[in-house]
Chain A
């Protein structure tokens, strides 16, 4: 059975419990103390020392709909004119939170890149780095189409979400999913999660949120190259809004082509040099 995540951003309250639970369980250090001024996000991104990261998209005016049933903002639009003194309904809008994590790609670029075999697919079909094997060559880092896997300079090796391999082995769910108060992070059998995701999105569509979609399935929106993700997301905006690529692709897909082209080039160069020997 393959396990994975479904992270439903529409019920995420941005509490960051997942981020803290992950650091606590895995005993990862803090990354520094600096106010970014970017909404409530002061940890910015996934890294070798942040395996769950909650993104904050403060979106007060563009999207005129709240995350619920009532289109109060459309209502508020008209109110602008009728309010005494032209008072505004500033502050109304959307504020979206998204808990990001390693996608546990079905065809994982990091794993294919790894020359030591440190990155494997474990018995839960999760993409797992064996910390005792990785030698820190760093090649997986630019390979990952999601910017997940990262080297920790002080350690030399690369790290990312283990999908709580240790906990799963003991029959526990991952720390982040466990800590999530609203079940925004669902953990389980990928096939079942797929179904849940489809149902959730259908419900959202029925409620009028036509822009809700599943990110991380080959069927929907271009993860064809990597054949989908074992950790999927329900999103409401363009992937880029959350710092995700619209159509991630598998870089290794072009290795064969590159090799053939190089062989041709080698032949041509050889021939040219050989010609130079002609008297």
Chain B
């Protein structure tokens, strides 16, 4: 024991983890400040990705049905489904959102103010506006369908509510809801989201449209509704939007660069790569190119819908992982993203 040289001691010590700061103890598995995340992840639970998904579908449905209407393509079943879907999604969305609040009974505080810089505030207001419009439009549809009985009010509603006009009015709001779910994520300090600020909204919107088209296709098939042309257009549009979505995701991954790592982690890769990329985009694209049968079409639509859901879950989950990773945040806050002292933003 007497003449342990410094080297052998260091060798010995090298195997021992200490209570020192990780910077000075190479044995510590953690980095930076004991591996403790420097930023806090969002607490959001399953309601939020589902809401993102539904919001996207709602936007896409609004886009398709309004366009059909405007372009003179008449398909009553499509219009009906579109209007009722808008209503149902606009009922579900706030429920999911409020459910996730820490203090649900105070949801109405969202309506205290409108803050342009807060995507969450914009989102709330967009939901209110779009929700009300969707409600009016759906009311007209319901009145027309006789669901509201035969009283004076339903008759007035059927006559006075300018559904077509309102649909056109609702479209931009709906599109905002669909894209803003992405923007909302990017306006945080979470590297994987924030890094991709430009493409988050577009990607979410594209996915929203593709899932909406699949949704419409699926529902029409289920009910044996819809005109032939509708199905045909849906199929074409689906293929196109899936390609756009694929392109946007690819561009996002490039943009996210090293910070996209969580998407390919053991927990999230099955969801993202398996669920979204392969199951939700690649497979449907392949299926869409062949001969069209009802069964196959319904299967394809289901895949796209699930792929869209997987994308929302994967993105939210990846955000948590990204926030938990000190390395990610610190490199991010030192990289080109970091505003320089002279920056005026």
Residues of A within 8 A of B (CB): 36-39, 41, 44-45, 55-62, 80, 85-86, 88, 109, 112-118, 133-139, 141-151, 153, 155-158, 218-222, 224-225, 240-255, 257-259, 261-262, 264-266, 268-270, 272-277
Contact = CB atoms under 8 A, between A and B. Distances in A.
B341 A145 contact: no
Contact of B24 (A59, A133, A150, A254): A59
Interface of B: 2-3, 5-6, 9, 18-21, 23-24, 32-34, 36-44, 63-64, 67-68, 71, 73, 100-104, 106-107, 109-110, 112-113, 115-121, 123-124, 172, 175-176, 178-180, 182-184, 186-190, 193-194, 197-202, 205-206, 209, 213, 233-234, 236-237, 240-241, 244, 248, 319, 323, 326, 329-330, 333-334, 337-345
B110 A115 contact: yes
A225 B109 contact: no
Most chain B Cβ neighbours within 10 Å, of A88, A136, A269: A269
Contacts of B209: 269, 273
B330 A265 contact: no
A64 to B, nearest CB: 12
7 contacts: A58-B18, A116-B113, A137-B120, A254-B197, A255-B116, A266-B205, A275-B240
B342 A224 contact: yes
Contacts of A253: 339, 345
A276 B233 contact: yes
B183 A255 contact: yes
Nearest to B178: A266
B103 A135 contact: yes
A142 B119 CA distance: 13
Contacts of A153: 43, 102
B187 A258 contact: yes
A116 to B, nearest CB: 4
B6 to A, nearest CB: 6
Contact of A249 (B115, B175, B206, B337): B337
A59 B113 contact: no
B118 A252 contact: yes
B115 A246 contact: no
B203 to A, nearest CB: 8
Contacts of B240: 272-273, 275-276
B101 A60 contact: no
A146 B329 CA distance: 10
Contact of B339 (A114, A144, A225, A274): A225
Contacts of A277: 67-68, 71, 73, 233
A143 B339 contact: no
Contacts of B198: 254, 257-258, 261
A181 B106 CA distance: 41
Contacts of A274: 67, 71
A156 B187 CA distance: 22
A219 B109 CA distance: 37
Nearest to B179: A262
Contacts of A258: 119, 182-183, 186-187, 197-198, 200-201
A38 B34 contact: yes
Contact of B189 (A85, A137, A144, A242): A144
B41 A58 contact: no
Q: Which of A56, A138, A242 has the most CB of B within 10 A?
A: A138
B21 A58 contact: yes
9 closest Cβ pairs, A-B complex: A136-B102, A156-B102, A247-B338, A262-B201, A265-B202, A262-B179, A243-B33, A245-B333, A135-B106
A21 B316 CA distance: 37
